Amino acid sequence: MVLIMVPFFTSLFIINNFFLLVDHLLFSRFKKLNIKEPVFIVSMPRTGTTMLLHLLTSLKNEYTTMKLWELIFAPSITQKIIIVNFFKIDFRINSIIKKAVILISDKIFKNLGSLHNTGLEQPEEDELVLLWNLSSPYLQYFYPESNIFDQLLNFDSDLNTKKQNRIMIKYFRHVQRHNYVFNREGNKKFLSKNPFMMSKVRSLYSHFNDAKVLTINRCPNLVINSTVNLSELLFSTFSSVKFKDELKVKIESVIKEWYFHSHEIFNSNENINHLYLDFEKLIKKDETHYKNLFEFLGLDAKYISHILNKNNQKYKAKPKKFYQIKKYLEGDDIPFMKKYYKEVI
């Protein structure tokens, strides 16, 4: 895996950063683009965030978001324009190349697809774009026993202000780049889904102070169990190091920290435009719940029927084997989440 991933990542790192520099020469005006009222799904992993992201991005006239191909292969404006125009030409020959790329990507993401709906053409967590300045916790999946990325897991708490601002400015520039290509007139709202933002809530608000933030509440024990399962799959994909119990304890600790940190920020700052959603009501398509969501987002009620009738089966996790559900936390460990706890075997 090292022999494959290190050259692959290093090549992409050099290429992507070269084109990111080219942007400043060819498209310097992108830095003047305003990002008005973006929407951020800032919630724990495994809380239905992918489902919500896909449901909202299906409203194509309302939202724009980054897709996996863009995050990995085209973070720069230059690359986006080249790829978009290339596939316009490919479309004239019956999208032969595009179909081949999708076929290959489906095979690559086959195992991951059992727990997380993804693919090159799918909207994805835009945390990935921070790989190109080496400031994403995703790097830990290559080195699961290392602690050098721990500061990024507790972004607001452990990083100094200078580093926080530098990383968030980089992220802000990536959002501007996306909008410059796909939403230059600002007719749509930028939409993001990123569980790692749970540790960046304060920093996020300081750079996007008119943002609307959505958080989904689900039983913490089910969140931890499902996150452990997904993490084990990711670690085994990118590393041959055995997934140890210490990593499960670390995941539990990080999630607990994220709960307390985000709760404190949301409750201490009335200026953050934030809404809590209920996982059960969300997946069961509770109409009143979705009406409250649409009212918060300022969406036309005409979209309600579209969302309620949309099939969300493909967004549900389908583990290939049974995982023993473990009780990591007691109801009193996170008091403000107590009403969401379920009986766990």
What would the 3-class secondary structure string for 175-187 be? HHHHHHHHCCCCC
Domain count, the chain: 1
Task: Please give the average per-residue pLDDT across 276-285, as a whole number.
Answer: 95
User: Is 320 inside a domain boundary?
Assistant: yes
Q: Tell me the chain's radius of gyration from C-alpha atoms.
A: 20
pLDDT band at 117 (very low <50, low <70, confident <90, very high): low
Task: Please give the average per-residue pLDDT across 256-261, as a whole number.
Answer: 97
pLDDT band at 118 (very low <50, low <70, confident <90, very high): low
Domain, as residue range, for 151: 2-340
User: Is 161 inside a domain boundary?
Assistant: yes
**Could you tell me what percent of the chain has a pLDDT over 70?**
91
User: Is 345 inside a domain boundary?
Assistant: no
Alpha carbon 170 to its chain's center? 16
Q: Are 325 and 225 in contact (CB under 8 A)?
A: yes
State how far the Cα of 200 lies from the Cα of 192, in Å rounded to an integer. Answer: 14
pLDDT band at 120 (very low <50, low <70, confident <90, very high): confident
State how far the Cα of 144 lies from the Cα of 152, in Å rounded to an integer. Answer: 14
State how far the Cα of 293 lies from the Cα of 132, in Å rounded to an integer. Answer: 34
Tokens of 152: 């990024």
Is a pLDDT exceeding 80 seen at residue 259? yes
pLDDT tens column, 191-237: 999 999 999 999 999 999 999 999 999 999 999 999 988 888 877 77
Q: What is the pLDDT of residue 139?
A: 86
Tokens of 224: 């931890």
Alpha helix ranges (H) inside the chain: 2-26, 49-57, 68-73, 77-91, 96-108, 150-153, 155-158, 161-182, 201-207, 220-238, 245-268, 279-283, 287-297, 304-308
Task: Please give the average per-residue pLDDT across 55-64, as a whole number.
Answer: 94
State how far the Cα of 154 lies from the Cα of 257, in Å rounded to an integer. Answer: 8
pLDDT band at 253 (very low <50, low <70, confident <90, very high): very high
Q: What is the pLDDT of residue 10?
A: 93
Q: Report the alpha-carbon angle 303-179-26, nearest 5.
A: 160
SS (H, E, C) 113-178: HHCCCCCCCCECCHHHHHHHHCCCHHHHHCCCCCCCCHHHHCHHHHCCHHHHHHHHHHHHHHHHHH
State how far the Cα of 99 lies from the Cα of 90, in Å rounded to an integer. Answer: 10
Domain of residue 197, CATH code? 3.40.50.300
Query: Out of 56-70, 89-103, 137-151, which region has the weakest mean confidence (pLDDT)?
Result: 89-103
Nearest Cα to Cα of residue 315 among 119, 117, 120, 122? 117
Most confident of 25-34, 307-316, 323-332: 25-34
Query: Is pTM, for the whole model, over 0.75?
Result: yes
